[in-house]
Structure 1
Amino acid sequence: MTSYPKKIKRPFVVSVEGNIGSGKSSFLKHFQSQPGVKTYSEPVADWCDVGGHNLLALLYKNPEKWSFAFQSTVQLTRLNIILQPTDASVKMIERSLQNNRFCFLEIGKKMGALSPPEYVVLTKWYEWLEEKADIGLDLIVYLKTSPEVAHQRMKNRQRAEESEVPLSYITLVHDCYESWLVGDGQTRPHCPAPVLILDANRSLEEMFKVYEENLDKILGLHL
């Protein structure tokens, strides 16, 4: 008799997406105490110390020189997170491999920070991962903010690496998110999962109420 390996049941995977300063970290903190939920923040500390090199700071100072190294590192760390085993029934991650591919690689290409060969290498790596590994998402929660609100929040938190990030860059990130997750209202060709769009221009207290109102959807109990 031929034996087949048992299919491993993976958790319901939720990626919280949004601009810099949209409230992704607060979203994860709000849900981390929920039974059966495991949260994974963006590994910013890892990007700031890659063998002693602060790639995030280098990226902002000279994107043309450092985008390829930074995006390669981001892709590796996001892959590590999505493939980490967990007994939790819901796995919440801050941004995704799909975000890296269809948002930030496109930004790098548009800005000229990634050369055509560098862009092709990174997209080929993503295509290989998509084919060979289980990197799928079950829900995307898009915390939608205006670029102006996101930029002001970014300035208020005073992270050293972000001190010189202009509003024009935040606007570019916003536009890429809109293209990827909202589209023209009819088609979103590169959107890998259902999208729950939440207006995140509101205060933190108001957002906590919105999260509770959408609790079943966010935890995969009702889509």
Structure 2
Amino acid sequence: MFYSVLKMNLTCQNRFPLRQVCLVRQMRNCALLWREDQVQRLHKLKTRKSHHILSPDICCASAITINRTRNILKLDLNLNLLNFTFSTKMKQLNGCHEKLEESKPQEKTRPQHITVAVEGNIGSGKSTLLKHFENLPYCEVVGEPLDQWTNLEGHNALGLLYENPDRWSFSFNMYAQLTRIDMHLKPHTLPVKMLERSLFSTRYCFVQNDYLNKTINPFEFSVFSQWFDFLTSSGKADLDLIVYLRADPSVCYERLRMRSRKEEAVVPISLIESLHKLHDDWLLEKKYPVPAPVLVLDANHDLDTMKEVYKFRSQEILCGYS
């Protein structure tokens, strides 16, 4: 029995840790000592006259050797059990660590270039919002090209539109669409680019309003729509966020009267009401395609309150930059 256990331990020694290999070697040495002791014992037995009487010294030495061997075997088995238990626990801990790493929320990285379109009715406060953010070190503002609309090689296109929309709606909106795509294509010089309106509000609010009021005929509307589809399908007019400044038509009309732009002197409140409904249809009711998430802000408050709103909601407006 001893030799079979010893043989099993010796054949498996390559799989044991260094400490266990040392123990196996000690067992081998003990076994050799025990064998040498047995040989001496037999030799002494042969030389004694009475073979049935064993020397007390020999019996004691044999018992000590056998007890040591048994203790080593027990220690070896205990070490194997401890090694197995330790390995099992380590596997469990590693599994828990992997699950913990997987459950950790991934940190969201902010994109390098963000385009935000500030949308709203005439007089909703878009220029005020842009002025609030224009001096930030990571934000650039692209306002509406009023100077181009009011002086196109000496022609006041915006003034002609308000004076005679039946005649100039298609011409002005085609030119406005050209200047809008130019705003979208302007290279980023800072992480956040804020646009005063976008190519999409030109189509879904202003051109749609002209079509519904029949200041643009179906043929002109089809021409404009095909140009719009071509420009937006190129991916050059993509947006990351739309900030909708929603104000009541009466509030917008009062602000329009107070700022006294000469081109807007003939704007009727019916136009403000129509544009208000179309903005709601587009950005709230989703009756027309919305190219980006929409952040709706109540713009009915006075200037000081709106500045506080912009300060409080700045991280949302700037898509994480603040």
User: Of Structure 1 and Structure 2, which has the larger fraction of its residues in helix?
Assistant: 2
How far apart in 1 are the matches of 2:134 and 2:207?
A: 29
Deviations 1:81-130 (A, max 9, x none): 11011221000000000111111110010111111111001110010011
Query: Based on CA coordinates, which of the two structures has the bigger radius of gyration?
Result: 2
How far apart in 2 are the matches of 1:139 and 1:131?
A: 18
- How many residues align? The count is 211
How far apart in 2 are the matches of 1:106 and 1:166?
A: 17
Q: 2:133 aligns with which of 31, 34, 44?
A: 31
Tell me what 2:262 maps to.
160
Tell me what 2:215 maps to.
113
Describe the shift of the 1:189–1:119 C-alpha distance in structure 2 as closer, same or farther (beyond 3 A): closer
Q: 2:281 aligns with which of 179, 184, 195?
A: 179
**Residue 219 (1) aligns with residue 315 (2):** no
Q: 2:142 aligns with which of 37, 40, 56?
A: 40
Q: 2:251 aligns with which of 149, 153, 156?
A: 149
Tell me what 1:19 maps to.
121
How far apart in 2 are the matches of 1:169 and 1:60?
A: 10
Which stretches of structure 1, 4 residues or more, deviate above 4 A after TM superposition? none
How far apart in 2 are the matches of 1:188 and 1:38?
A: 31
How far apart in 2 are the matches of 1:173 and 1:56?
A: 17
2:204 touches 2:288 (CA, 8 Å); kept in 1?
A: no
How far is the alpha carbon of 1:133 from its aligned partner? Answer: 3.9
How far apart in 1 are the matches of 2:189 and 2:260?
A: 36
Tell me what 1:61 maps to.
163
User: Normalised by the size of structure 1, how large is the TM-score?
Assistant: 0.92
How far is the alpha carbon of 1:188 from its aligned partner? Answer: 4.9
How far apart in 2 are the matches of 1:216 and 1:56?
A: 35
How far apart in 2 are the matches of 1:21 and 1:10?
A: 32
Code of the aligned partner of 2:278:
C
User: Which consecutive unaligned segments of at least 5 residues does structure 1 have?
Assistant: 1-8
Greater relative contact order (CA < 8 Å, ≥ 6 in sequence): 1
How far is the alpha carbon of 1:189 from its aligned partner? Answer: 4.3
How far is the alpha carbon of 1:215 from its aligned partner? Answer: 1.0
Code of the aligned partner of 2:153:
G
Tell me what 1:126 maps to.
228
User: Normalised by the size of structure 2, how large is the TM-score?
Assistant: 0.64
How far apart in 2 are the matches of 1:73 and 1:146?
A: 29
Give the 3-state SS of the residue equivalent to 1:140 in structure 2.
strand
Give the 3-state SS of the residue equivalent to 1:29 in structure 2.
helix
Percent identical pairs in the alignment equals 42
Tell me what 1:209 maps to.
308
User: Which consecutive unaligned segments of at least 5 residues does structure 2 have?
Assistant: 1-110
How far apart in 2 are the matches of 1:77 and 1:10?
A: 25
Give the 3-state SS of the residue equivalent to 1:13 in structure 2.
strand
How far apart in 1 are the matches of 2:199 and 2:252?
A: 22
Describe the shift of the 1:133–1:194 C-alpha distance in structure 2 as closer, same or farther (beyond 3 A): closer
2:242 touches 2:293 (CA, 8 Å); kept in 1?
A: yes
Give the 3-state SS of the residue equivalent to 1:17 in structure 2.
strand
Code of the aligned partner of 2:320:
L
